[in-house]
Amino acid sequence: MQNLAIVLVFGIPLSLIAATMVFLISYNEYQHHFFNKKRVIKISLESALFTLGFFAILLLVIWLSINSIFPQPK
């Protein structure tokens, strides 16, 4: 269970930072191409949510890998 705590402590804040950066970058780029602000926000949020989902799956894979390499003593 300690491995899960380590993965979550580092993974969640970094995933949120990554999603925020994706939103800001995509918003900045799309606002040059679309004039409808609601559409730009929607597309940017979709990109950010995809990034957050990607990192959530990546955290799960890392946690499972750590547990298979270093099993917890019982």
Alpha-carbon torsion, ordered 45, 51, 52, 56, to 10 deg = 160
How much is the pTM? 0.82
The Cα-based distances of 47 to 20, 32, 44, 51 in angstroms read: 10, 17, 5, 6
For 16-35, how does the pLDDT look when each residue is reduced to its tens digit (9 = 90+)? 999 999 999 999 999 998 88
pLDDT digits (tens, 9 = 90+) for 33-71: 888 999 999 999 999 999 999 999 999 998 889 888 888
